[in-house]
Amino acid sequence: MISPEFHRSRRELYREILQDNSMGFVFAGELKEDRGDQMFPFTPYANFYYLTGFEQPKAVFMAVKEEGKYREVLFIDHPDEKKQRWEGISYTKESVSAETGIEQVEYLEKFMESIPLFGRKNLIEHLYIDIAKWENNFTQNPAQEFAARVQSNYPYIRIHNTFWQLSLMRQVKTKEEIALHRKACQITSAGVLHMLKNLKPGMYEYQAEAYFDFVLKDNNAGHAFPTIAASGPNACVLHYVANDRQMADGDMILFDLGAEWGHYASDVSRTYPVGGRFTKQQRELYEVVLKGLEAAIARTRPGQPKDELQEISKGVMAEELIKLGMIQEKEEIAQYYYHGSGHYIGLYTHDVGDEHAVLEEDMMFTLEPGLYFPELGIGIRIEDTLLVTRDGCQVLSGDIPKTVEEIEAFMAG
Ligand SMILES: [Mn+2]
């Protein structure tokens, strides 16, 4: 998958965030309960994975910059006998050190005593802790808990959150990351083509979805997010995931899906006529969205402010809707288009980064304009995963049928 050298190069950048006489902490996170005695499969916190490549729960990465010297320690949970017998997981300090390239690896019981903050002269003045929190509640994740405990016991310490700096690092991809994204997009493409070959009226949405899932499993890939397979009026529900409606001839189906490969996501949306041919109205509206997408793709290159792409798509689609007589004034498009035009993509499908950034080479994001007409039972979204290149962009999901002609020709066999 991704090399230890990649993670080492990320730690070199991380090191620059820390000022002298400070420490940095990044937590892997904990296993989460699913139901009964089952746990959710563990995925390490993205910034922890980015810096270490280590994938076991409870681990902590610590960096110390003290009187001009820098060192790193990775604390890992003690691998117990049960884990070894039941899950086949076994590792030692030495094997983890060899795998990750982090010289000093210690078991977690050494964590507190290894922090050169406690029981020492007051040399360390700053702690850099990576704290991300998505839910609006007061439950604490391990990073927050640690920050709160340090703050209450050592009020003279200044705590900084490194989440934003790491987000800015993650928004520009390395060649290795791009290769993983590329592979995720290839598998997604194979999955969509397989599904499209088998799509026909009378099927349930979940049956179409099953053809996509087969290709992912067949390639040993995971899902970047739950698949949306929304036919007819369901396509107007942005995050519809029930996928249990029976499709009729004359319906369109909106797919929003993506494979994940080596932790990196792909994210693609397509809207197809279930019976293989668009009606006149479907075709007209579909081409409005496609023009909106293509206009933004055409402007995607280094130097372009990212947040303008939304307005570019919106402006083109509004003009086209006026031509069709669907709206009179440009602003009325807000009635039919009510989400953002895309997002960064990376370790998260909706990845971190600065939405107001000026585009740079090797950034990756999606563009996904849409139009939704509940009264017509029509919802259309077309989304591609893009890589910014030196002088433009590359559409990594570009070989998935997208124009009316490509779609109808492919579906005709
Ligand atoms: Mn998306």
pLDDT digits (tens, 9 = 90+) for 386-403: 999 999 999 999 999 999
Measured CA angle at 361 (ends 359, 363), to 5 deg: 65
CA quadruple 282, 284, 287, 291: dihedral sign? negative
Residue environment code for 333-352, b if the CB has 16+ CB neighbours within 10 A, otherwise e: beebbeeebbbbbbbbbbbb
Distance 255 CA to ligand 1 centre (A): 11
Question: Is pLDDT above 80 for 120?
Answer: no
Question: At which residue do the structure tokens 């993205």 appear?
Answer: 46
**DSSP 8-state symbol, 109:** G
Query: Between these two residues, 156 and 105, which has the higher pLDDT value?
Result: 105
Distance 309 CA to ligand 1 centre (A): 15
Mean pLDDT computed over 320-334:
97
Distance 344 CA to ligand 1 centre (A): 9
CA dihedral defined by 369, 406, 260, 243, rounded to 10 degrees? Answer: 70
**DSSP 8-state symbol, 273:** E
Check residue 135 and give its pLDDT: 66
Mean pLDDT computed over 202-216:
98
Distance 50 CA to ligand 1 centre (A): 22
Burial of 76 (0-12, 13-18, 19+ CB in 10 A): buried
Check residue 1 and give its pLDDT: 81
pLDDT digits (tens, 9 = 90+) for 192-206: 999 999 999 999 999
Mean pLDDT computed over 259-281:
98
CA distances from 390 to 261, 301, 387, 394 (A): 25, 7, 10, 10
Distance 91 CA to ligand 1 centre (A): 37
Question: Is pLDDT above 80 for 118?
Answer: no
**CA 14 remoteness from chain centre:** 21
Distance 385 CA to ligand 1 centre (A): 8
pLDDT digits (tens, 9 = 90+) for 123-142: 888 999 999 877 666 778 89
Distance 109 CA to ligand 1 centre (A): 41
Mean pLDDT computed over 248-260:
97
Burial of 155 (0-12, 13-18, 19+ CB in 10 A): exposed
Mean pLDDT computed over 239-257:
95
Among candidate residues 127, 119, 126, 123, the one with its CA nearest the CA of residue 143 = 127
Question: Is pLDDT above 90 for 96?
Answer: yes
Check residue 239 and give its pLDDT: 87
Length of the chain: 413
Question: Is pLDDT above 70 for 119?
Answer: no
Mean pLDDT computed over 246-260:
97
Enter the tokens of residue 298: 């055409």
Residue 18's CB is within 10 A of a number of other CB atoms, namely 19
Question: Is pLDDT above 90 for 170?
Answer: yes
Q: How far apart are the first and last CA of the chain?
A: 36
Phi first, then psi, for residue 41 (nearest 5°) are: -55, 140
Check residue 261 and give its pLDDT: 98
Among candidate residues 358, 365, 357, 402, the one with its CA nearest the CA of residue 387 = 365
Domains within the chain, CATH numbers bracketed: 4-170 (3.40.350.10), 175-411 (3.90.230.10)
Distance 235 CA to ligand 1 centre (A): 14
Distance 366 CA to ligand 1 centre (A): 6
Mean pLDDT of all residues belonging to the chain? 94
Question: Is pLDDT above 90 for 385?
Answer: yes
Q: Residues of the chain with pLDDT > 70: what percent?
A: 98
* C-alpha–C-alpha distance, residues 179 and 185, integer Å: 10
Crossing angle of helices 175-198 and 205-218, rounded to 10°: 140
Distance 268 CA to ligand 1 centre (A): 7
Enter the tokens of residue 115: 């922090």
Question: At which residue do the structure tokens 């900084």 appear?
Answer: 160
Distance 166 CA to ligand 1 centre (A): 22
Check residue 334 and give its pLDDT: 96
Distance 51 CA to ligand 1 centre (A): 25
Burial of 228 (0-12, 13-18, 19+ CB in 10 A): buried
Check residue 37 and give its pLDDT: 87
CA dihedral defined by 324, 326, 329, 331, rounded to 10 degrees? Answer: -120
Distance 350 CA to ligand 1 centre (A): 7
Check residue 136 and give its pLDDT: 65
Distance 266 CA to ligand 1 centre (A): 9
